[in-house]
Structure formats: C-alpha cells, structure tokens
C-alpha cells in the first residue's frame, strides 16, 4: 500500500495541520487502511472525506480536520472483514458510531494526536467537550464494542494490555 503525501491536501491548522495529518495518514496506511484522493463523482460523508469501497477518500480542495481521518477510518476498521472492501457511505448506527469513536481515540494515542485535535469543536454534533472530558477521565465510550470484536481488552484482564492499547487494528 502506497503512503499518501499529506502535503497534497488542505488541513485545518487548529486540528494540527500538515504534521498531524501526516502522522495519521502514515498510521492508517501502515495498518492497511487505504487513503486516496477523492474523485469528482464520489459523495462525501463529511466535508472533504468519503468512504468508498472500504477506502478513505480525501478531497484536496477542502480543508479537513486531521482527527476526522481517524474517526472515519474507525468505521472502516470496525467493519466485518467480509464487508470492508464494499463499505460505502456509513448510515446511522449508534453501536458502530461508539466503536468508531473508541477506535479513533486509540488511534489518536498511537499517532500522538491530542483530545482537542481528535474531538475538535467543529464536529461531533456539539458533543466535543463531552467526549474530551469522558476520554480524559477514562470513560472510554465504545471500548466494550472493540473488546467484543476482539480488537482490544477494555479491562486489561487475561494478561492482555488494556484499552487504549489494541490487540489488532482491523476487525
């Protein structure tokens, strides 16, 4: 899988800009989530991002929050392996949304992305501060779903490393 150059895209500086985006893109490529420029014909889920065919697509013309890369990649990562390659626009599903939030936090820890950069004020339907507080206080929303998928051990039992450490990044 080819690493994608963060400099080809526009990033919101308040979200960490090019430096955070480059770390996120390198991480995602390294774990097997393909990131590529978006085509004109592809619908966007968030401003500047889309999930098409199990790939995370980025619009080079729109300034994107780097933390949103991790959240949208979380949806790809938690998809069942047999569904991942055909994954398209994500519909509303509370369980999957919570799991993607938990996955994005674990990924943010691995990429050295702050809570403020991940749960930025430009997203999360006005609940950014609630999420920052919950995760800062180790109220790991969605982590039990990742445990159920065999991706982490939310409680650190059975000799495994506790969340946000991951046993594997893809379901």
Percentage of the residues of the chain whose pLDDT score is greater than 70: 94
pLDDT at 157: 67
Judge whether residue 77 has pLDDT over 70.
yes
Q: Is the residue at 26 inside a domain?
A: yes
Tens of pLDDT, residue by residue over 43-59, are 666 789 999 999 999 99
Asked if 33 contacts 85 with a C-beta cutoff of 8 angstroms, the reply is: no
Q: Is the residue at 58 inside a domain?
A: yes
pLDDT at 158: 61
Task: For residue 53, give the DSSP letter.
Answer: T
Q: Is the residue at 109 inside a domain?
A: yes
Residue 23 burial (CB count, 10 A): 20
Asked if 58 contacts 64 with a C-beta cutoff of 8 angstroms, the reply is: yes
Sequence-distant (6+) residues with CB within 8 A of 15 are 65, 66, 67, 68, 117, 120, 122
Q: Is the residue at 23 inside a domain?
A: yes
The count of domains in the chain is 1
Tokens read off for 14: 């308040």
Q: Does residue 64 sit in helix, strand or coil?
A: strand
Q: Is the residue at 154 inside a domain?
A: no
Q: Residue 86's domain spans which residues? A: 6-148
The residue ranges of DSSP E strands in 106-149, in sequence order, are none
Q: Is the residue at 122 inside a domain?
A: yes
pTM: 0.93
Radius of gyration (C-alpha) of the chain in whole angstroms: 15
Judge whether residue 106 has pLDDT over 80.
yes
Tens of pLDDT, residue by residue over 82-97, are 999 999 877 777 789 9
d(CA 68, CA 104): 9
Residue 112 burial (CB count, 10 A): 13
Q: Is the residue at 130 inside a domain?
A: yes
């Amino acid at each position: 899988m080819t690493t994608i150059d963060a400099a080809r895209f526009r990033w919101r500086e308040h979200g960490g800009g090019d430096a955070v985006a480059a770390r996120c893109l390198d991480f995602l490529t390294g774990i097997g989530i393909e990131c590529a420029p978006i085509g004109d014909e592809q619908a966007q889920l968030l401003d500047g991002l889309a999930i098409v065919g199990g790939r995370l697509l980025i619009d080079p013309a729109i300034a994107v929050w780097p933390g949103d890369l991790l959240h949208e990649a979380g949806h790809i990562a938690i998809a069942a392996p047999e569904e991942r390659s055909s994954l398209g626009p994500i519909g509303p599903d509370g369980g999957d949304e919570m799991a993607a939030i938990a996955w994005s936090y674990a990924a943010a820890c691995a990429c050295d992305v702050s809570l403020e950069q991940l749960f930025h004020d430009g997203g999360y339907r006005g609940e950014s501060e609630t999420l920052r507080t919950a995760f800062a206080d180790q109220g790991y929303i969605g982590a039990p779903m990742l445990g159920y998928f065999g991706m982490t051990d939310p409680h650190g039992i059975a000799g495994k490393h506790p969340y946000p450490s991951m046993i594997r990044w893809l379901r």
